[in-house]
Each structure stands twice: as C-alpha cells, then as structure tokens.
A = this chain, B = another copy of it.
C-alpha cells in the first residue's frame, strides 16, 4: 500500500540550514526539502536543471545577469550550467527537484557541501 508524504511534516527532518533531505522521488528526479538562511556559494550544475519551489519565506537567487526574487508559492527552474547563488535574508523553506546525480554545490566544495548520502540520511 502506497502512503502519502505530508510536505510540512517532511521538513521536520531538516534540522540544519543548507542541508537538504531527500523526501521523495519521481522517475529519475529527487524531491528534497531544505531550510536556507544566509547565502550558499556561486556554483552551477552542468547537465542538470534544478527547480526551486518556495514553501515558506522568500529567496533571492543571484545570477550573473542580476538577482531574481522568489516569494512563497513561486517556483523557478535554474537551467543546467547557469551559475547561481541562493541568498535567504530570513529562514526560507524550499522544495528542490533535481536528478540524483546533482552535486549540492556543483564543482565548488565548501564546508556546507553535502553528499547525496547525507541528504538521504
């Protein structure tokens, strides 16, 4: 028997900022819950789009041609290869959709970078 996941409840598994947890999957894509505050790092994912959906709060994503501001209920797909840097002035909850192959911070390694194993734990 299949059992549904409640999105808000899934966020209870997320205890640290910038440390996404895998909460579902569809075909070859993972759904991840993340809580963000502050900024991550400029990076790109070559070969993989990354969708941000704002569950709570708001998020600015900086791009090389300027920032895009997302409010609660907005979503945006960052296309493969496009350099970006998420910045959350206040705590923001995001749902991410991306392939299992996606590296958290692209080719940038930072103390905040999380492996897929950490995201599955």
Contact = CB atoms under 8 A, between A and B. Distances in A.
A66 to B, nearest CB: 6
Contacts of A82: 2
Contacts of A63: 1-2
B75 A7 contact: yes
Interface in A93-117: 97-99
Nearest to A25: B77
A2 B74 contact: no
A78 to B, nearest CB: 7
Contact of A97 (B29, B69, B70): B29
Interface residues of A, number: 38
A51 B26 contact: yes
A7 to B, nearest CB: 5
Contacts of A65: 1
Nearest to A78: B2
Contact of A29 (B3, B29, B53, B69): B29
A50 interface: yes
Interface of A: 1-8, 24-29, 31, 48-51, 53, 63, 65-66, 68-71, 73-79, 82, 97-99
